[in-house]
Amino acid sequence: MSAIEIPKPDPRILARRAEILAGLAALVPPTSLITEEDERRAYETDALTAYRRVPLAVVLPETTEQVSRVLTFLNREGVKVVARGAGTSLAGGAIPSEDAVVLGVSKMSRILDVDTANRTIRVEAGVTNLGVSGAVSHLGFFYAPDPSSQLACTIAGNIAMNSGGAHCLKYGVTTNNVLGVKMVLIDGTIVELGGAHLDAAGYDLLGLIVGSEGQLGVVTEATLRILPLAEGARPMLMGFQSAEDAGACVAAIIASGIIPVAIEYMDRPAIKVCEAFAHAGYPLDVEALLIIEVEGSEAEIEDLIGRITTIAADYNPSGLRISQSEAESAAIWKGRKSAFGAMGRLADYICMDGTIPTGQLSAVLTGIARICEGYGLRVSNIFHAGDGNLHPLVLFNANDPAEQEKAERCGEDILKLCVELGGCLTGEHGVGIEKRDLMTYQFNTIDLDQQMRVKTALDPQWLLNPHKVFPLAGRPV
Amino acid sequence: MSAIEIPKPDPRILARRAEILAGLAALVPPTSLITEEDERRAYETDALTAYRRVPLAVVLPETTEQVSRVLTFLNREGVKVVARGAGTSLAGGAIPSEDAVVLGVSKMSRILDVDTANRTIRVEAGVTNLGVSGAVSHLGFFYAPDPSSQLACTIAGNIAMNSGGAHCLKYGVTTNNVLGVKMVLIDGTIVELGGAHLDAAGYDLLGLIVGSEGQLGVVTEATLRILPLAEGARPMLMGFQSAEDAGACVAAIIASGIIPVAIEYMDRPAIKVCEAFAHAGYPLDVEALLIIEVEGSEAEIEDLIGRITTIAADYNPSGLRISQSEAESAAIWKGRKSAFGAMGRLADYICMDGTIPTGQLSAVLTGIARICEGYGLRVSNIFHAGDGNLHPLVLFNANDPAEQEKAERCGEDILKLCVELGGCLTGEHGVGIEKRDLMTYQFNTIDLDQQMRVKTALDPQWLLNPHKVFPLAGRPV
């Protein structure tokens, strides 16, 4: 996606670099300020590695108060700020510009409070996603949203992107699991939103902050909902002779009111590659495979599997297999979780992240096949089918610039199709810089203006993570 | 609460009344404009009847386009607008001022689209809450949020107040069940937010709009989530010898991860009055009664009742009774649903609406008893215990002004206690004018300023439902 523009740095800021560094040095401990170029280079990109810019400086504050002082200073000086969790954004959400200061939350990673009676945990925003579950698993609890990068990614980044994961079908995405945040606005004011209770008086600013991609403030603490671990869980495999049958089956399960923990979809190319990689025992004679996991007591599991099997019978399933052991469950999930890595051994790919209403699954799969055929490109579909969050992988040869460009246009067409079918551009990866210029397909000028009015209200100079989310043309600043 | 100020009308607007009416007459059909005083008087108050002001005029547009033209005109003329659903707000959310035009959505009440495959329904905002379920019940679906006023109240009002109800313990409040809205901003622009898909790119303005009490725009259409009706449901009764035991039992059930459809709480005075009124078979020898309803297949119901009974055994339950028939279930719910009416035959009362973390139930019940004892007033606690949404009724004699004032101060102290215990001022009734001046107990100046910045960004002149939500002092306009 070499066509995405990152604006040139403001020469007036570059000229004042020494002065800005001196100002920062007075506000944070020496170990919290990175100025050397070779060290700054570690912050030049995130998981969208095709784009990179070395930032002006990197600050790693240790407290909310330090974040407040840093933002007060940078706001007064008119310097851009890019907040950063672990840098795992696939959409380029943490890529800086050369005139921006990166503000990393990695030194704020303490667990502050665990309250099982109210099922909440309060953490600093630099705690990793898996670190939250790790802090409560011995008490029989877990934190539900589980992005694939959960070993590394931080709660700060999860909140910025409203991250999802396989468990989100049943438990919701980040916004459904964050009860409150402490955050710092660009002018240094510290605000607390929400808390360990349902709803709140006044406007729902908390909901607005979740998914705002670091553009409205820097979150430094969060109160999260934790859930009791289920008694048990069991995956089942179900093969189909066509993508349409599999898609229709998913829609029928969801329409029936059953909410499994996960419904994952793989097409024939993905099944073949993953089976070769993980020896998970997937059926090789089908066009599409669903992995459906249910959880609960043994009675609930039996009941749900029975109901799902009955619904699926209308869609010509084959190769039905219900896991009979922990080892078999682990193998089934190992195959799915290694899917992206396994595909990467086969070919280069770009991973899209659109969503659609689940009733449109058959239509979107047919449409994706048609689009890719038109470009003469192979596609592999591996995704969270239950909540309509697609991750089609468009395969191409990265050493052929013409084919890369073709793959990018193909990916764009797929996202436009999602919007046409009543879905949207991103399910869990965010807009970042990657989909910034596609926002005009989802929203008209009036819709975008409303969103930008809120940005301007909270960050009048547009200093917080600029160049993201909104197309560069038509901005008020 | 005679102390709540409604600002005096702006004489410049009153002087231009004829001109404003003529302008409105050019924008909507004659049947959509109410100008005669005796007809306007029907819109002078809502369910907070202690306060009333006859509005300048009432418009009842038939289409989104008419709403747009009306708002464009009123914005240009600097005239205040109070949007109104069915006028059932207990917080005074729909009470106008004398210089405001009431914009009612009652003529926009069509069901636009039902999509059971995607489990969504699209309606005009004037459809009643029960009308939504009524439109899909023959298909085996329902709309989950169920405020007590559901026969009358509109989706527009539900969205404005983020309304709740007994089913919300399991299914969430309005914000969890609204997928998209069409709305008109004060300058007449029509925007669409969200849609029939999970999440969305860009900021979550939809979440911001839900619960914004008609201050950011006028919602004219909504896409709502509908859910399949459960196979079956069954309530159980459980008595306790102390409020603390009952509160601790609720907290333990919730902490275990079981989410019943409803957990309703009644104390001894309420049990006595409701039993006399409804002959529901409630135990009369207990201090507190829980009505716990579970739903699902017969196997799920049996399993959940068993687990709940096991947990409750630690809290000295008595009078355990599991409904054995439809008739018995109906009688149990009739008692609960007639509770407020039955209490009203006994004494005047003010109904509070605070929330607390469920782990604080015992503490808040003890605190409420202490506060009311201090004022020498009786209190009866009837509320949605499972999600910590309290509705303590403070009983008083409305013919004694001194006792009324005492009751109001007592109610304030109860809400302050909720905030101290980590809860908040309102669970499902909203702030309106009723709790406007208490917002400073929940939020500091910085927090309120942030919320008001958003208001100013979307409604620079503060014309939409002003005098609500934020204390009059400290406003930017």
Tell me the domain boundaries of chain B. Answer: 11-107, 117-228, 232-340, 347-420
Minimum Cα–Cα distance from A91: chain B residue: B201
Q: Per-residue DSSP letters for B284-299?
A: SS-SEEEEEEEEESHH
| Whether pLDDT at A217 is above 50 | yes
CA-based nearest distance B325→chain A, Å: 24
Q: Are A240 and A246 in contact (CB under 8 A)?
A: yes
Helix (H) or strand (E) holding B233: strand B232-240
Q: Which of B71, B199, B452, B477 best tests the A interface by mutation, with the highest count of A CBs <10 A?
A: B199
Compute φ and ψ for A220, nearest 5 degrees: -115, -20
Q: Is A445 left (phi over 0), alpha (psi -120 to 50) or beta?
A: alpha
Alpha-helical segments (H) within A290-442? 298-312, 326-337, 339-346, 361-375, 401-420, 439-442
Query: If you average pLDDT over each of A332-336, B312-316, B423-427, which comes out highest?
Result: B312-316
- Is the pLDDT at B461 greater than 90, yes or no? yes
User: pLDDT over 90 for what percent of chain B?
Assistant: 66
What pLDDT is stored for residue B197 in this prediction?
67
Cβ of B196 within 8 Å of Cβ of A357? The answer is yes
Residues B223-268 pLDDT 10s:
999 999 988 999 999 999 998 899 899 988 988 888 899 999 999 9
Task: Taking residues B150-171, report their average pLDDT.
Answer: 91
> Which DSSP letter does residue B469 get?
S
Condensed to tens digits (0 to 9), the pLDDT of residues A415-463 reads: 999 999 989 998 889 999 989 999 999 898 988 999 999 999 999 999 9
| CATH number for the domain running over A347-420 | 3.30.70.2740
Read off the pLDDT band of B198 (50, 70, 90).
low
Contacts of A447 in chain B (CB under 8 A): 191-193
pLDDT in tens, B115-158: 988 889 999 999 999 999 999 999 999 999 988 888 899 999 99
Q: What is the DSSP string of A83-123?
A: EESSS--TT-TT---TTEEEEE-TT---EEEEETTTTEEEE
In the predicted model, is pLDDT for residue A198 greater than 70?
A: no
The CATH number corresponding to A232-339 among 3.30.70.3450, 3.30.43.10, 3.40.1280.10, 3.40.190.10 equals 3.30.70.3450
- Tell me whether residues B201 and A442 touch, CB distance under 8 A: yes
Using the predicted structure, report yes or no on whether residue B316 has a pLDDT greater than 70. Answer: yes
C-alpha B99/C-alpha B8 separation (Å) is 8
Q: Is the per-residue pLDDT at B378 higher than 50?
A: yes
**Residue B185 has which token pair?**
């901003």
Nearest Cα residue in chain A from B250: A117
Size of interface A-B (CB pairs under 8 A): 220
Question: pLDDT at position A175, please?
Answer: 93
B279 pLDDT band, cuts 50/70/90, is: confident
Q: Which of A118, A205, A216 sits opposite B451 (nearest CB)?
A: A205
**Residue written as token pair 């630690």:** B314
In this predicted structure, what is the pLDDT of residue A48? 85
Are A136 and A143 contacting, i.e. CB atoms less than 8 angstroms apart? yes
- pLDDT of the residue at B399: 85
Whether B450 and A458 lie within 8 Å, measured CB to CB: yes
Please write the tens of the pLDDT for every residue from A401-411.
888 889 989 99
Question: What is the reported pLDDT for B291?
Answer: 95
User: Is domain B117-228 classified as CATH 3.30.465.10?
Assistant: yes
Highest CATH level, class, for A1-229+444-477: alpha beta
Nearest-angstrom CA–CA distance, B327 and B51: 41
What is the CATH code for B11-107? 3.30.43.10
Are A358 and B118 in contact (CB < 8 Å)? yes
Q: What is the mean pLDDT of residues A117-136?
A: 94
For residue B442, the chain A residues in CB contact (below 8 A) are 200-202
pLDDT (mean) for A89-117: 95
Find, in chain A, the residue whose alpha carbon is nearest to that of B430. A201
- Cα–Cα distances (Å) from B102 to B1, B28, B53, B89, B96, in that order, read 23, 14, 11, 15, 7
Asked if A304 and A315 count as a contact pair (C-beta separation under 8 A), the reply is no
- CA dist., res. B287 & res. B267, Å (int): 6
Q: What is the rounded average pLDDT of the residues A129-145?
A: 94
Which of B31-40, B77-86, B270-279, B364-373 is predicted least confidently? B270-279
The pLDDT value given to residue A33? 97
At A247, phi and psi to the nearest 5?
-60, -45
As given in the structure block, the two tokens for residue A88 are 């795992």
What count of other Cβ atoms lies within 10 Å of the Cβ of residue B429? 27
The answer to whether domain B232-340 and domain B347-420 are alike in fold is yes
Q: Do A356 and B197 touch (CB under 8 A)?
A: yes
Of chain B, the percentage scoring pLDDT greater than 70 comes to 99
| Residue B1 scores a pLDDT above 70 | no
Report the range of poorest mean pLDDT among A22-31, A455-464, B9-18, B432-441.
B432-441
Can you tell me the distance from the alpha carbon of B212 to that of A302, in angstroms, rounded to the nearest whole number? 44
The correct answer on CATH 3.40.630.30 for the domain covering B232-340 is no
Q: What is the mean pLDDT of residues B308-327?
A: 93
pLDDT band of A281, cuts 50, 70, 90:
confident
**By CA distance, what is A180's nearest residue in B?**
B422
Contact criterion met (CB < 8 Å) for B199 and A228? no
Q: Residue B199's pLDDT is what? A: 63
- Is B207 close to A207, i.e. CB distance below 8 A? yes
Q: What is the pLDDT of residue B382?
A: 87
Judged by CB atoms closer than 8 Å, whether chains meet at A435 and B116 is answered as no
Measured N-to-C along each axis, helices A326-337 and A339-346 cross at an angle, to the nearest 10 degrees, of 50
Indicate the average pLDDT of chain A: 92
Q: What is the pLDDT of residue A408?
A: 86
What's the ipTM? 0.73
